Amino acid sequence: MVGEQTPRYHRIADDLRGQIERGELKPGEQLPTEWVLTEQYSVSRNTVRLALRRLTEEQLIVAGQGRGSFVRKRLPRAVWDWSQLESRSKHTSDAKGDQWASIVAESGRQPRQEVTVSIRRPPAEVAQQLQLDPETALTVVRERVRLVDNEPYALADSYFPEELVRGTPLMLPEDVSAPGGVLASVGLIQSHYQDEITVRMPTRAETERLSLPTATPVAVHQRTGYDSDGRPLRVMITILPGDRHVIRYDVPAE
């Protein structure tokens, strides 16, 4: 009853995927319930669930306990231009808030940030980037949840060496975005960034904080800012859900 060429749940997934791609199942529309699919395909419920899991992993559907499974709405992705973000000249016309908030506001949606500030020993990776001793050094950590229309959109955690920002407004749990970045407001000028982007599945904590659908990968964007002497001033780690973001860079060829 089992061994054909391809597993049954593959073929069920292929069939449903085709219906979605051909538009017979439209974005936002509810799929048949698992029980109905069980009857339609004459298989057990577990087999149906394997097929649905496959589609979930492909970002085609989302399931909610007690609600049903739905064809996923493809939101337009937000574009973050990291070669422009935090550029001083781009902020002359917009002294309040950062580029992210501006972009969101322009598209008619409500940006908001929740900020918490603490002083902590940094994670090993951050300590290395900041050239600090991971055993003894302290960092001021600004953890931000960026929300659009009250939906969590990204996590952005910044780490500053504690000695650099002691006694500055950076240590207040408020939105201190400013022209040239928050560091410029306390007299520290970043002249150069190094960005590193990695891709992975989210941790469970990130899944919760970002309300991520199952099997949504995230980009981890780590930006280290240096002053003109090459001294690291800050590490910012941004968690960008893959379904909501495009990362852009403009690069001169020489």
Please state, in angstroms and rounded to a whole number, the distance separating the CA atoms of residues 229 and 159.
19
Answer yes or no: are the C-beta atoms of 164 and 190 closer than 8 Å: no
Token pair of 77 as six digits: 């992705």
Residue 87 touches a second copy, criterion: CB under 8 A: yes
Neighbours of 68 (CB within 10 A): 13
Indicate the residue among 125 and 151 with the shorter CB distance to DNA. Answer: 151
What is the full DSSP assignment across 124-146?
HHHHHHTT--TTT--EEEEEEEE
Please state, in angstroms and rounded to a whole number, the distance separating the CA atoms of residues 94 and 115.
21
Answer yes or no: are the C-beta atoms of 111 and 146 closer than 8 Å: yes
Residue 195 touches a second copy, criterion: CB under 8 A: yes
User: Which of a second copy, DNA, none has residue 1 at its interface (CB below 5 to 8 Å by kind)?
Assistant: DNA
Phi-psi region of 28 (alpha: psi -120 to 50; beta: other; left: phi over 0): left
Indicate the residue among 136 and 228 with the shorter CB distance to a second copy. Answer: 228
Indicate the residue among 34 and 81 with the shorter CB distance to DNA. Answer: 34
In 3-state terms, what secondary structure has residue 177?
A: coil
For residues 4 to 43, the per-residue mask of contacts with a second copy, x marking binding by CB under 8 A and - elsewhere, is ----------------------------------------
Indicate the residue among 70 and 82 with the shorter CB distance to a second copy. Answer: 82
Residue 110 CB, nearest approach to a second copy (Å): 24
Among 26, 88, 96, 231, binds a second copy (CB under 8 A): 88
Among 96, 192, 211, 231, binds a second copy (CB under 8 A): 192
Indicate the residue among 136 and 198 with the shorter CB distance to a second copy. Answer: 198
Residue 253 touches a second copy, criterion: CB under 8 A: yes
DSSP state of 30: B
Indicate the residue among 63 and 176 with the shorter CB distance to DNA. Answer: 63
User: Which of a second copy, DNA, none has residue 201 at its interface (CB below 5 to 8 Å by kind)?
Assistant: a second copy
Among 5, 42, 89, 92, binds a second copy (CB under 8 A): 89
Neighbours of 70 (CB within 10 A): 16
Cα distances from 28 to residues 74, 144, 207, 213, in angstroms, run 9, 30, 22, 14
Residue 62 CB, nearest approach to DNA (Å): 9
Residue 186 touches a second copy, criterion: CB under 8 A: no
Structure-token match 């002053």, residue found: 227
Q: Which residues bind to a second copy, rule: CB under 8 A? A: 46, 57-59, 77, 79, 82-83, 86-89, 189-201, 215, 217-219, 225, 240, 242-243, 245-254
